[in-house]
Structure 1
């Protein structure tokens, strides 16, 4: 790929969490990805980050069955309960 996406969503698993939160976050920042979400099904947690001046700023965290409007998709309401359905 020659152009970085504006948004990346990573689903966290125990075997890849350290990689996602360290190496990948750094790579995404270096490449100019503007928005990053972490979805962690174990605690049912959604974390929202925005890249500002080359560093990740954690904007918010949402748990359980919350209804969320999050960058860069504020126009849409996301029902977190839908993420945890099997």
Structure 2
């Protein structure tokens, strides 16, 4: 099962329509939640959204998404729980 790329930084850039955290648009967010969305589509979307990110934003996404895959929680939520 492919885990959602949401890393809990849920703010949308008004110019691009992409989330600052995961770089998905609203339609892509809906697709991730649909039962009929295939694993192939999700893999492809993960590749696409990472092309929308660069520099520190891409590195931050990768680090938080990897942490979410390994631990079931994004770094942002982990840090909130530790405060």
Structures share fold, TM-score greater than 0.5:
no
Q: TM-score, normalised by structure 1?
A: 0.37
More helix by share: 2
Tell me which of the two structures has the higher relative contact order, counting C-alpha pairs closer than 8 angstroms and 6 or more residues apart. Answer: 2
More strand by share: 1
